[in-house]
Amino acid sequence: MALAQAAAEEARAAGEVPVGAVLVRGDEVIARGFNHPIGAHDPSAHAEMIALRAAAQAVENYRLPGCELYVTLEPCLMCAGAIMHARIARVVFGARDPKTGACGSVVDAFANPQLNHHTTVTGGVLETECGAALKSFFAERRRASREARAAARGEALAVAGGEAHPGVQVETRSEIHGEAHRGAHVEGRPDEHHEGHSQTRSEPGSAEPL
Ligand code: ZN
């Protein structure tokens, strides 16, 4: 799982939601992958899919029996399907995803014997650590978004003020009209709302592609 966490940090470095996966057979690491659908312009570029593709290429077989997939976030339905097609023996995941998780959080694809004969699932391994990586990513993104909105608002007020010291005037006007307070309040509420889901992929799932 530590290797999967390292892969997740590569996703973060690329500006993508930090999810990482590693595919192993016995003691051998066959492949790894990190989430990057935005950069790849590919909705299927989840960490699990990347690792599965790389592993299948490496062993020149579309089936990967006897392999284990470690991933920092609960797989979605797409990845669960690919995991089954590849005949993966075991999936080990970190944080749970109450919005798109297909290993029990939303649906349990692997519990259906008509779909799955091959894969056992272990969830919640290093759950706190894996969730913290996602939480910090979304916290940073919200902070950047807040700053961008505040900057845009400041510019708009400066233009509206349009006098000798627009910067000073912006602050004064904000205080008089209570905008600084209102602004903080409005921004705070979505944060609080998001905070409850921030260990999960529910945030990117609801707002942005993974
Ligand atoms: Zn997925």
Cα(10) to centroid(ligand 1), Å: 17
Could you confirm whether 48 is annotated as catalytic? yes
Q: Residue 110: which of 86, 80, 68 has the closest Cα?
A: 80
pTM: 0.74
Return the higher-pLDDT residue of 177 and 91.
91
Catalytic entry in 16, 48, 68, 74: 48
Residues with C-beta atoms within 5 A of ion ligand 1: 46, 76, 78-79
CB 110 within 8 A of CB 122: no
What pLDDT score was predicted for residue 117? 83
Report pLDDT for 194: 43
Sign of CA dihedral 160, 163, 164, 170: negative
